[in-house]
Structure 1
Amino acid sequence: MTSITTGFVRTDLLPPQPAPRENASILGWVRANLLATPKDALLTVLAVALLLWTVPGMLNWLFFDAVWTGADRTACLTGAQGGVQPNGWTGACWAFVGERFEQFMFGRYPIDERWRPMLVAALFSLLLIPILIPKVPYKGWNALALFVVFPILAFFILHGGFFVFQEVETPLWGGLMVTLILSFVGIAVSLPVGILLALGRRSQMPVIRTLCVVFIEVIRGVPLITVLFMANVMLPLFLPTGWTIDNFLRALIGVALFASAYMAEVVRGGLQAIPKGQYEGADSLGLSYWQKTRLIIMPQALKLVIPGIVNTFIGLFKDTSLVSIIGMFDLLGIVQLNFTDINWITPVTPSTGLIFAGFVFWLFCFGMSRYSAFMERHLDTGHK
């Protein structure tokens, strides 16, 4: 019986076999993912039909039939409209974007001084890139330079008024420069202030807890446009006679406070997700409140709410366009302002400008989203 049994039992494993030919090919992938069931096949056919119906026209309008060069509006008008394009032509007017590109970036900042925003952008990139790469050392010094030293240095370079720097008032600032400044200051301020507000809301001291709750609920209960309006119109009424605050500084304060209230609730959600045993374990080690929070609780809480934090940052970046109500022109505002330029009034100018502004906003928001996904994978040590 033993000899018969051993005759049917292998003592070594079979070598791995190649994947079936029908699954390893492109046709096999299409069959498995797009045509697996009649429902999948129907949805695939409808999706392909929709793409064939819309994509060629979009590509023609955006690229193939678009006007890329031109000195004025006649480049984007048909012959019947007084331009050089054939009658019936339709396409994007990228010549308008190219002609106004520097204004979209810097607003009304003096042309001879635009090297200063470029210098600030270069310094910002040099400080930001190392802090985004996990393996680069000296993160503490890097963060100190980026979030403390750099804003002060950037203000003196951009505003000027000393040494060889000509003074440039903030009403002349605009375009993407204003969008990035508002976003950076809002992000840099909202995260630490939001953490303090979240800790204050969970505090055992009634006065601290009440103040944090009132601040968070009041700010979250009104839209950002109301906060900006209050900062621009109502705040000067409470200042002593002769005192004034720059409009741009008011916008920075309003945006930062608004984002801090939302950030506080995101961080509080992370704090509530930490098991009670983590607090008890830290207490058993004899750690103080701030040691426990800094070394044990907060690193775990922030890792859990990375998507919410980045979502708040993305919302803040897009909401900066609301500063146009207080007379400041960010990227979207300066693009819309140029629609009234008589040198570039055409039927396709508004749509082209809005598509350009939308693409720039999407580019930055998509970059933040992808970096968020990267950090989630990098910090996800619980399942490795």
Structure 2
Amino acid sequence: MRGTDHDHLPCAQPGHLGPAEPGQCPRAAGATLMHARAHPVVEGVRSLVSSPLAAIMNLAALAAFVAILKPLIEWGLIDAVWTGDSGADCPPGSGACWAFIHDKLRLIFFGRFPGPEQWRAGVATALMVALVMASLTPPFWGRRLVMGWAAGLVVYFVLMAGGILALTPVPSTDWGGLPLTVLLTVFGSGVGLVLSVPVALARVSRLPVFRIAATIYVEAVRGVPLISVLFMASVLLPVVLPEGLTPGGIGRALAGIVVFFAAYMAEVLRGGLQSLDKGQYEAAAALGMRYWPVMLKVVLPQAFVIVLPAIVNMLISALKGTSLVVIVSMMDLLGTTRAALADPDWIGFYVEAYVFAGLIYAIMCGGVSWYGRRIEKRFVSAREHKN
């Protein structure tokens, strides 16, 4: 009778269990669950055709994408000219003339920096990028990072300027291309971020003198474009500062970029300060903490985490804004690209030049954005883990 009672079960059932007891067929249940879960590709296709309107819109978008991508591939890859000594090697009916980029690659990347010494500019730029990445990685924070920046800056300027250790001297007027773009972005946004902290604190201060002064500075800078600030820095600094203390072209450009982005970052940071719960301030005051320990250890770390996406956006804006330093006779990446077009052997290849420069800017901006999202997720996960 025991065997008869279990003959109707869908799988083998131990004899001591009743036929109505659940959960006796784990393999069957697992198989059913596996069949119930569709493949991610299948789920993606289903979401694209979830309704007739969605299917029509997605198919139209796909057709437009293919229609745009096909001629771009033909122009940029299939029909492109990759080698050549002059513009004569790129006939009018051909595709992109990447031979122009190949011939002018060093000029675009390094500008007037001496050819045999361009390795120094490349190493110095890589060192600067490595220091920035270390600064955005929490495990590296501490005294070692400060010492690393101090040593790194010394090595950077020794490599760029030369004059010691048997390195050929290179004046700052010959710095250009990608190294100059990275230099202006890192120092301009970095120093601007440091100066934005006291400005933001002054904006939310209870003391009218500091609050009004910070408000006037921020609103005055935000009311003019960056190119105007750069022009005023290049014209006013030689007039205001005594002779002998006037900075060169790079110094004037950095001064304008710092003043401009410090005002914008101060407003971003002020938003983060105002978004914090007042209980943070009250709890710190109840513990008897003074103003600066409260700000440095309690308030500012939380505010920076909140406004991190906006700060990343400002870094990208600073990176693209460096192209305006041509107003002070500096040749950044975009300036060296324009200089490459002045060669009489390569006349008229504007599309290839600006597409290549745009790709470099896109890679740099995309890298900054990706790294910023990664750091933001790390901060958010750490805060959720603590909670």
Whether the 8 Å contact between 2:108 and 2:177 is mirrored in structure 1 is yes
Q: Letter of the 2:289 partner, please give it.
A: L
**Cα pair distance change 1:129/1:325, threshold 3 Å:** closer
TM-score, scaled relative to structure 1: 0.88
Q: Could you tell me which residue of structure 2 aligns to residue 364 of structure 1?
A: 364
C-alpha distance in 2, partners of 1:163/1:99? Answer: 32
1:177 matched to 2:179: yes
> Who is 2:47 aligned against?
33
What TM-score, normalized to structure 2?
0.87
5 Å-filtered alignment, 1:187-206, equals 187-206=189-208
| CA drift at 1:247 | 1.3
Per the TM alignment, residue 307 of structure 1 is displaced from its structure 2 partner at its CA by: 0.5
* Residue of structure 1 in register with 2:377 after alignment: 377
Which residue number in structure 2 is paired with residue 308 of structure 1? 310
Residue 126 of structure 1: how far off its partner (Å) = 4.6
Shift of 1:371: 1.1
Q: Helix, strand or coil for the counterpart of 1:154?
A: helix
The 5 A counterparts of 1:57-136 are: 57-78=71-92, 89-134=93-138, 136=139
CA 1:126–1:233: 2 relative to 1, 3 Å: closer
| Residues in 2 aligned to 1:116 and 1:383: alpha-carbon distance in whole angstroms | 44
In structure 1, distance between residues paired with 2:45 and 2:165: 70
How far is 1:238 from its partner? 2.4
- Whole-Å separation in 1 of the counterparts to 2:40 and 2:190: 49
Q: What do the CA deviations read for 1:74-112 (whole angstroms, capped 9, x no partner)?
A: 12124xxxxxxxxxx231111111111111111101112
- Letter paired with 1:102: R
Gaps of at least 5 residues in structure 2 are 1-17
Alignment of 1:148-159 (within 5 A): 148-159=150-161
CA-to-aligned-CA distance 1:291-315 (integer Å, 9 cap, x gap)? 1111111111111111001000000
CA positional deviation for 1:159 = 1.9
Measured after TM superposition, the shift of residue 278 of structure 1 is: 0.5
Residue pairs, 1:294-333, within 5 angstroms: 294-333=296-335
Contact 2:137 2:375 (8 Å CA) reproduced: no
Give the 3-state SS of the residue equivalent to 1:380 in structure 2.
helix
Cα distance in 2 for residues equivalent to 1:13 and 1:291:
62
CA contact (8 A) 1:127 1:145 kept: no
User: Secondary structure at 1:342's aligned position in 2?
Assistant: coil
Distance 1:242 1:178, change over 3 A: closer
Q: Is the 8 A contact 1:124 1:146 kept in 2?
A: no
Secondary structure of 1:257's counterpart equals helix
Gaps of 5+ in 1: 1-5, 79-88
Equivalent residues of 1:198, 1:264 under 8 A apart: yes
Range 68-77 or range 172-181, more displaced:
68-77
Q: What do residues 151-193 of structure 1 show as CA deviations (whole Å, max 9, x unaligned)? A: 3442233123345233222221111111100001012201111
Taking the aligned partners of 1:76 and 1:51, their CA distance within structure 2 comes to: 28
C-alpha separation in 2, matches of 1:240 and 1:231: 15
Letter in 1 for 2:320: K
Distance, in Å, in 2 between the alignment partners of 1:297 and 1:318 is 31
Once the two structures are TM-superposed, the CA of residue 120 in structure 1 deviates from its matched residue by 1.2
297-306 or 164-173: bigger deviation: 164-173
Q: Is the CA contact (8 Å cut-off) linking 1:147 and 1:188 kept in structure 2? A: no
What is the DSSP-based 3-state SS (H/G/I as helix, E as strand, rest coil) of the residue aligned with 2:57? helix
Over the aligned positions, Cα root-mean-square deviation in angstroms equals 2.3
Q: Partner of 1:265 in structure 2?
A: 267
SS of the residue corresponding to residue 358 of structure 1 reads helix
Q: Which whole-Å CA distance do the structure 1 matches of 2:100 and 2:48 have between them?
A: 42
Q: 1:354 corresponds to which residue?
A: 354
Q: What residue is the counterpart of 1:52 in the other structure?
A: 66
Q: Which residue of 2 aligns with 1:10?
A: 22
The verdict on how the C-alpha distance between 1:176 and 1:126 changes in structure 2, with shifts beyond 3 A counting, is closer
Contact 1:321/1:330 (8 A) holds in 2: yes
Distance, in Å, in 2 between the alignment partners of 1:233 and 1:126 is: 34
Find the aligned partners of 1:12 and 1:200 in 2 and give their Cα distance.
69
Does structure 1 conserve the Cα–Cα contact (< 8 Å) formed by 2:125 and 2:182?
A: no
Counterpart pick for 1:228 among 218, 227, 230: 230
Give the stretch that moved more between structures: 233-242 or 319-328.
233-242
Distance verdict in 2 for CA 1:302–1:93, change over 3 Å = same
- What SS does the corresponding residue of 2:96 show, helix, strand or coil? coil
| Superposed displacement of residue 274, structure 1 | 0.5
For residues 23 and 155 of structure 2, the distance between their equivalents in structure 1, rounded to whole angstroms, comes to: 73
Equivalent pair of 1:174/1:334 in contact (CA under 8 Å): yes
Larger radius of gyration: 2
2:8 is aligned to none
Paired with 2:23 and 2:50, the residues of 1 have a C-alpha distance of 39
